[in-house]
Amino acid sequence: MQSHITDSRFFRSGYATDEVRSIFCDLHRMQRWMDVEVALAQTQAKLGIIPQAAADELARLGQLHLLNQEVILEKLQTTSHSLMPLLFAWQQVVSESSGRYLHFGATTQDIQDTAQSLELKDVFLIVERDFAAIIHKLMKLAGDYRSLVTVGRTHGQHALPTTMGLKFAVWLDEMLRNGERIQECRKRLLVCQMFGGVGTMAGFGEHGQEILAGVADRLGLGKARVAWHASRDRLTEFIAVSGILAGTLANIANEISQLSRDEIHEMEEPFHSGKLGSSTMPHKRNPELCEQVVVLARLIKSNAMLGFDGLINEHERDYRAVRLEWVSIVDTSMFLCKALDLMKSILSGLIIYERRVAQNVASTAELTSSESLMFLLGSKLGNQKAHSLIYESAMKAHEADKSLIEVLFADETVSSLFDLDALMRAVHPENNIGQAVVLTESVMNSASKWVSRMDVNEAKTVTCSLCESGKQENGGAAG
């Protein structure tokens, strides 16, 4: 049964990638629990707490495929405990002398929280890789279109001229801020939990700090200062940062969608022959990729509330937050990785209709350059009088369907002070883009520096050898 949308045989490709699904598959999750147990045993053996031979046997036989998974399922039903059935099945394949040292001094949440940190470590590999790819794509778009004059819009209406490059630069700058959030969140999030029943390390004796450091080092995680069994702010931050990042992607997607409207038609998401927009209207080219990014962002936003609910726990440990995370963290990771995957595809094949951009600029060039015109008239009439004069002329032009310059030049005061050529030069859009190109290049330079500091392997993929998720999906990365 595949009833969750992220696992749907038919529709899952819109909500998650095979790559991120592989991180959270049941088999991979239990294997991670075993990996944490092995790291604990090997650390304890190195400290002389348990025999090295026992730790080595636990490591050698610490493979989920060696265990009776039917027994695990049966024990889950009878014990209602998430970890003990796995440990029981593991003990059936190791010697009694080694099995006695399994899960020595730890509590269940130590193992599962640490494993969740490992899951999120893999999620960050995907997020950082795809994030870097999007940064590169936005840098290229900003550079390619840095001088392409376009209509700037405020409140849904033509405002002043700007450049297409600056539009991309604004998106790029917001993404760079998200990059900073990701890096800061990562440092706090990916830590080891190895503190025992109520966080005192009592089960580890005098070696508690050494065990924590050893396990964290073996697993490539940070070392928490104290137990975080009941302190779930790290996970809440992850969902919140994911929500902001997804919101940025949705904002970009929404703008692309709006600019693809027939009456604007300046850009469009990638289109391929055979893609259908409607069952009844064959002509439709719906921005469905962009719309799906918005859907995913809204789903992540709804998960953020669960994250904040998880901040409230009782005493030293309370599983209610953890069980919320098993849904909210997983779904958030799925939705975020898919949103990033979609945005990579959208930006890679983004279509810019330059001729239509130019037509839209020309259609209201006089009105969108009214600010420049006001400064010209203001040089002799004063800005307030110039503003009033242009306002009245613009309203008359709108109502009479005439040119603004035509109405304005008919005013005796204006025609006595300025010739027609001066007015026409003032409303030339290319002369009224201000510092758009400079601002665009400034953001591109900042992005170049950010990319040079990032240690991102763009070819890195996350795989799970235990499940069948390692397949190509829509030409994407292997999972």
Q: Could you tell me if residue 473 is inside a domain? A: no
| CATH assignment at residue 120 | 1.20.200.10
**How far is residue 227's CA from residue 209's CA, in Å, rounded to a whole number?**
12
One domain for residues 445 and 358: yes
Mean pLDDT on 448-459? 78
Of the candidates 240, 389, 393, 269, the one whose C-alpha atom is nearest the C-alpha of residue 328 is 240
The Cα–Cα gap between 367 and 161 comes to 10
With respect to residue 470, please indicate whether it lies within any of the assigned structural domains: no
Query: Which residue is listed with tokens 């235990």?
Result: 466
Q: Which residues pair with 222 in a beta bridge?
A: 191
Band of the pLDDT at 279, cuts 50, 70, 90?
A: low
Provide the sign of the torsion angle of the four alpha carbons 353, 358, 363, 367, taken in this order.
positive
Residues 216, 195, single domain; the answer is yes
Q: Once rounded to an integer, what is the mean pLDDT over residues 27-34?
A: 95
Identify whether 160 is part of a domain. Answer: yes
Say how many C-beta atoms besides its own lie within 10 A of residue 340's C-beta.
25
| Strand (E) or helix (H) holding 325 | helix 319-348
Q: β-strands 222-223, 267-268: how paired? A: unpaired
Q: Are 423 and 439 within one domain?
A: no
Are 189 and 235 spatial neighbours (Cβ–Cβ below 8 Å)?
yes
DSSP notation for 173-211: HHHHHHHHHHHHHHHHHSEE----TTSS-GGGGGGHHHH
What DSSP state is assigned to residue 457? -
Strand-pairing partners, residue 352, are 267
Task: Judge if 316 and 351 occupy the same domain.
Answer: yes
Q: Which of 44-53, 110-119, 247-256, 467-476 has the lowest mean pLDDT?
A: 467-476
**Would you state the pLDDT for residue 317?**
84
Check whether residue 163 and residue 38 sit in a common domain. Answer: no
Assess if residue 280 is contained within a domain: yes
**Mean predicted lDDT score pLDDT of the chain:** 90
Q: Among 80-94, 355-369, 423-437, 448-462, whose mean pLDDT is lowest?
A: 448-462
**4 assigned to some structural domain:** no
Q: Are residues 275 and 377 in the same domain?
A: no
- What is the Cα–Cα distance from 279 to 165, expressed in whole angstroms? 36
Pairing of strands 191-192, 149-154: unpaired
Which domain covers residue 411, as residue numbers?
370-427
Give the residue among 24, 31, 27 at the shortest CA–CA distance from 61. Answer: 31
Q: Determine the pLDDT at residue 425.
A: 87
Same domain? 323 vs 187: yes
Q: What is the pLDDT of residue 219?
A: 97
In a domain, 10, yes or no: no
- Active-site residue (options: 3, 65, 155, 279): 155
User: Does 258 share its domain with 352?
Assistant: yes
Question: Model's pTM, two decimal places?
Answer: 0.89
Confidence of residue 277 (pLDDT cuts 50, 70, 90): low
125-134, 312-321, 418-427, 456-465: which range is least confident on average? Answer: 456-465
Q: Return the minimum-mean-pLDDT range out of 6-20, 64-78, 184-198, 330-344.
A: 6-20
User: Is 136 designated active site?
Assistant: no
Residues 77, 131 within the same domain: no
DSSP label at residue 416:
H
Question: Quick check: 400 and 407 in contact, CB under 8 A?
Answer: yes
Is residue 155 among the annotated active site residues?
A: yes
Q: Which residues lie across from 351 on neighbouring strands?
A: 268
Q: Give the per-residue pLDDT at 340.
A: 98
For the chain, the domain total comes to 3
Which one of the listed residues 81, 95, 97, 278 is annotated catalytic? Answer: 278
* 332 phi, psi to nearest 5 deg: -60, -45
Q: What percent of the chain has pLDDT over 70?
A: 92
Distance CA 172, CA 179 (A): 10
Task: Report if residue 3 sits inside a domain.
Answer: no
Q: How many other β-carbons are positioned within 10 Å of the β-carbon of residue 43?
A: 25
- The CATH number assigned to the domain holding 51 equals 1.10.275.10
Residue 1, token pair as written in the block: 């049964």
Indicate if 237 and 349 belong to the same structural domain.
yes
Inside any domain, residue 180: yes
Confidence of residue 470 (pLDDT cuts 50, 70, 90): very low
